[in-house]
Structure 1
Amino acid sequence: MPITVQVRLRHGRYDAGGIRPGVAEWPPHPARVFCALVASAQSAEDWDALRWLERSGAPEVWADTSISVSRTDSFVVTNQIESRGGSQFWPGRTNQARSRASATPADEVFAVVWPEADTAGDLLMRLERMARRVPYVGRSTSQAEVNPLSALPAERPTWSRWTPSRIGVANTVDLRVPYPGYVDALREVYDLGGRAWEVGRAVPYSPLADQVPATEPVRGPWDDLMIWGFARPTARISGGQVLRLTSVLRKAVLKRIGTDIPAQVSGHGADDRPHVAFLGLPDVGHDHADGHLLGVALAIPRNMPAEEWKQLVRAVIGADPLDRLTPGAMPEISLQYGADPRRRGLRVETWQGPALGVRSWVTATPLVTDGMLRPRRRMEDLVLKSLGRIGYPDPVDLEVSAAPLTTGAVWRPRQGTLPEGRPKRPMTHVRVTFARPVVGPVIAGSLRYLGLGLFVPEREQP
């Protein structure tokens, strides 16, 4: 059952300081309405109702997008015990400039909506009791009537629905929201004489109509991962052993299929079609990452025929599943199939990125170029060739480095683990930014099918 807290501005004006001083807050922050209810709570039942509401997720805001903004600038006298300089007329005081902005929407009513709240008991009655005691929302000059409802509000033609947003969405604005533990955090900060913004948390919102990707994401040659984690207890395996592990993984998979191996698994006779990539998954991309291998994976080509894919699946997770690797010079490794949400490096989304894609990617294992350095040919040119060879667009920014560019990235494969008979080509780490978001996994370079040139998405900067 949805829960709506509908607010009518008595004088049509909404006075509240936004995240930036002097800028009118609009649309209204859900936390602003929540704090008004907190200020009117009186009993243990009231606090229980508010704690239930804070656990109901980030709500939507239904409000008018057409507003007029007014701003007043003034100097406010503040008292202080010790002062250097300050007011020329009243020693011990300072004059501080202060700006106040307010928004006047075309429609004096807005609503904070939890569309899928799971209400129970007399929660709505408790919210109604608190709402009747709310005199204003925002500043005391922003008088309001607050009315909780157990239904969606009647939509108005001038309203927009502001909802929590995602990467790739335009016209976002940060709104403070309630969160689990918010009630207790507010009570604690109030007892210390602090303000609500000190414990506030903001998430990006945008109008629902704008929540389509600005551009369609680029999808690479691979669209799925089959992941095996190393079963515990297993001694940590250095990221430098990545080629040893992926070579053993490839041999084990081919042996299980036996005869009539699909071309996109073996790589023989696949022509220009992408192959299955055999990957080692290092611990990368967080403050404590050290690059040791967490598991192995198969990256499945997007255009792999269904029958060949089924043949591969039957061989590795069928009646006799792949559950161990024997690297020869290393102890036998027990495998456990399936992504592990508790371990970052064993989650599919860690390597694929979000559904709408990511623009910036960085190598978790070094990239081996598809060509050799020659006069007038830079390393950047070789990286561009490797990216373009498998269908990625030309990037708008490119950085190459002999050293890793993200925490935990594998520096180099251990000496003696490179496949025999391959030409010795340059190896580098890469950070790349595309004009359009890209959905992973992203793998590039001449040893991409054995796990070198594996990229991990970087967190988008606001």
Structure 2
Amino acid sequence: MEYVGRTGIRVLPGYRVTPRRPHVVYRWDAEVPPRVFNSLRRRAARIGYLGAADTPVRVRVSDTMPDVEGSPAGVYRPDPAGDLAINVPEEGDLELLDQMFDAWRRHGPGVGRSQFPALRHRVGYRSPTGRAGVDRGGVVAWLQLTGPRAVRGRRVSSVTAVFKDALLSRFQAIHGEPPPVLHGHGFRRTGFDLARYLALPDVGDPRSRGDIHGLALWLPPGSDSPERARIREAAFSLRRLYGYGVDVSVRPLMSEAGASAASPRRWTRTARCWTTVLPVVHERRVSVDLKEVARWCRHAGLPGPSEFRSARAPFIPGGADLAPAEVNRPGRGGRPYSHVMIWFDEPVTGPVVLGSARQRGLGLCVDVPGDGEVNAA
């Protein structure tokens, strides 16, 4: 069937997939003034299709809350720890689309999407078959470093510092005052729940050199969806990191092909055994035993480990063996640090980051293949 409103070429014959029950309800729990409600009804009546242009629909707006609880198709509910991530619109998207269209009319196809902030606002939802999850926080932006010269893993503290400064500056320019979760000033929750700025090195292969190929921004549990979306937008709009002796181009990670070190799959696996690729900075000046490592894990939102090993040097090829000046910040006093390998009774999903310098990316871990049986010998 050809949609009557189409003025372009005919759609080629092919398969079409439609819901078995073609009745979809979007529900908002909000009070709308009568004038606005009537305007919404008139606008909805003008909608001819949703999705592909050859799928005509009829849209109606009602002020009567439909009974969706008993729907055979089930109900999808917003849930930061849900099993789905759905792209949703946000305030300001229409204005930005108008700006993009005006720029295209003036300058033609030379206008690229990269000149405008991303319109992807992914929000967690729980599907009808998904279990209610526990919000443990998560990465909101994966970035890839580009340029002719690699950034050595020994520069991790400088890289994460300039990453943080650039993000705060960019957020200020786009949205105004950055939220305390990004910088810690005026933060009303515990200091263990701040954002983590992660540098992602190339490790694990016998030829790995530990060069930094990517960045990740992790936010703690409890961050609301609009705040996460604004932070993600600011991170994705970064194009250059400059300062502290670092000068490198950066872009959103659009594809995992050829970017194994920056790949989310590299750092979000589920495993029982994890080892540090960047040394963990100890939280206290005490002997490191299983009880102390369990304290690190608890503060990082992880279960307590069943076993651990500790050493001055890394356990994995490409791991960074840093000097004290490369770990401790000037004027803050030196803290002990080491590399660890830890085992959990149950599999743990990454990213796993331990120690008092988690916010600076130190203590980043990677899973050990085979749950570390060989290494434990």
Q: TM-score, normalised by structure 1?
A: 0.48
Other-structure match for 1:265: 182
- In the alignment, does 2:152 pair up with 1:232? no
Alignment-mate amino acid for residue 189 of structure 2: D
Structure 2 alignment gaps of length 5 or more: 1-130
Q: CA deviation at 1:380?
A: 4.6
CA contact (8 A) 2:203 2:318 kept: yes
Alignment-mate amino acid for residue 429 of structure 1: H
Other-structure match for 1:222: 137
Other-structure match for 1:350: 266
CA contact (8 A) 1:240 1:414 kept: no
Q: CA deviation at 1:407?
A: 1.0
Q: CA deviation at 1:301?
A: 2.5
Q: CA deviation at 1:422?
A: 2.6
Structure whose CA Rg is larger: 1
Q: CA deviation at 1:236?
A: 2.0
Alignment-mate amino acid for residue 330 of structure 2: E
CA contact (8 A) 1:247 1:450 kept: yes
Residue 261 of structure 2: SS of its match in structure 1? helix
- In the alignment, does 2:288 pair up with 1:372? no
Other-structure match for 2:226: 307
Q: CA deviation at 1:244?
A: 0.4
Matches within 5 A, 1:13-412: 221-233=136-148, 235-258=149-172, 259-268=176-185, 269-272=187-190, 274-317=193-236, 321-330=237-246, 332-338=247-253, 340-353=256-269, 357-373=270-286, 377-378=287-288, 380-412=290-322
Other-structure match for 2:364: 454
Q: CA deviation at 1:447?
A: 0.5
Alignment-mate amino acid for residue 241 of structure 1: R
CA contact (8 A) 2:200 2:214 kept: yes
Other-structure match for 1:187: none
Deviations 1:69-109 (A, max 9, x none): xxxxxxxxxxxxxxxxxxxxxxxxxxxxxxxxxxxxxxxxx
User: How many Å separate the matches in 1 of 2:238 and 2:263?
Assistant: 19
Q: CA deviation at 1:379?
A: 5.1
Other-structure match for 1:34: none
Structure 1 alignment gaps of length 5 or more: 1-215
User: How many Å separate the matches in 2 of 1:277 and 1:440?
Assistant: 13
CA contact (8 A) 1:281 1:297 kept: yes
User: How many Å separate the matches in 2 of 1:440 and 1:434?
Assistant: 13
Residue 288 of structure 1: SS of its match in structure 2? coil
Deviations 1:167-204 (A, max 9, x none): xxxxxxxxxxxxxxxxxxxxxxxxxxxxxxxxxxxxxx
User: How many Å separate the matches in 2 of 1:296 and 1:362?
Assistant: 19
CA contact (8 A) 1:220 1:440 kept: no
Alignment-mate amino acid for residue 315 of structure 2: L
Alignment-mate amino acid for residue 260 of structure 1: E
- Aligned-pair Cα RMSD in Å: 2.4
Residue 199 of structure 2: SS of its match in structure 1? strand
Residue 271 of structure 1: SS of its match in structure 2? coil
CA contact (8 A) 1:400 1:429 kept: yes
Residue 460 of structure 1: SS of its match in structure 2? helix
Q: CA deviation at 1:412?
A: 1.2
Other-structure match for 1:431: 341
Residue 243 of structure 2: SS of its match in structure 1? coil
Other-structure match for 1:93: none
User: How many Å separate the matches in 1 of 2:301 and 2:245?
Assistant: 37
Q: CA deviation at 1:428?
A: 0.6
Q: CA deviation at 1:225?
A: 4.8
More strand by share: 1
Alignment-mate amino acid for residue 157 of structure 2: L
Residue 326 of structure 1: SS of its match in structure 2? strand
Change (3 A) 1:225 1:281: farther
Deviations 1:229-273 (A, max 9, x none): 12132x122111000010010011111122421122122314126
CA contact (8 A) 1:246 1:280 kept: yes
Q: CA deviation at 1:275?
A: 1.8
User: How many Å separate the matches in 2 of 1:401 and 1:411?
Assistant: 11
User: How many Å separate the matches in 1 of 2:320 and 2:305?
Assistant: 23
Change (3 A) 1:342 1:266: same
More helix by share: 2
Change (3 A) 1:325 1:417: farther
